[in-house]
Amino acid sequence: MKRLLATFALSLALCGVGQAAIDTYEFANDAQRERFRDLTTELRCPKCQNQDIADSNAPIAADLRKQIFEQLQQGKSNQQIVDYMVARYGEFVRYKPAINERTWLLWFGPAALLLFGVVVIGVIVVRRRRPTGASSATLSAEEQARLAALLKNETLDNQDK
């Protein structure tokens, strides 16, 4: 019985492994293989959205890998291949979108927010270090007399107890 359960558990665990797609491409040289690897890790899978096409098992990622391979065989440059993918799938397909009028907030927004936060913290720190005013730091003669009377009454009350 234990052997049957172990066999069932092992077959269940290995069930997903048989479905993984493995691409096999023949490259002319190692430089072309390296370009293929760089391009597939540089481009995002349109279906998975947070996975590059090199690691994705989605059918569209397999199609994109095939297109990249075919374009490499045609002798196209990396920039031509990336431009083709961007034209077809939009700027989203790139992990590092180009800096232009539509993406400047994406590139510089986090730095601007960080700078704004540093300025706000700086203003808060400076305001806390400053004395709040001369009137609160020193007491007038009338206030000093009243304070002395209150302290005197309190010490007398404490002595009576």
pTM, full prediction: 0.55
Neighbours of 39 (CB within 10 A): 22
pLDDT one-digit tens code per residue, 105-153: 888 999 999 999 999 999 999 988 876 654 455 788 898 888 888 888 8
Closest of 59, 64, 63 to residue 19, by C-alpha = 59
User: What average pLDDT score do residues 40-51 get?
Assistant: 86
Determine contact, residues 119/67, Cβ cutoff 8 Å.
no
Mean pLDDT for the chain overall: 82
Q: What is the amino acid identity at position 114?
A: L
- Predicted pLDDT at 5: 67
Q: What is the amino acid identity at position 16?
A: G
| Residue 94: band (very low, low, confident or very high) from pLDDT cuts 50, 70, 90 | confident
Task: Decide if pLDDT at 25 tops 50.
Answer: yes
Give the percent of the chain with pLDDT over 70: 80
Tokens for 92, please give them: 């989203």
The rounded Cα 93 to chain-centroid distance in angstroms is: 17
- Predicted pLDDT at 20: 46
Give the percent of the chain with pLDDT over 90: 29
Q: Give the torsion sign (CA, 100, 102, 103, 105).
A: positive
Task: Decide if pLDDT at 78 tops 60.
Answer: yes
User: What average pLDDT score do residues 5-14 get?
Assistant: 66
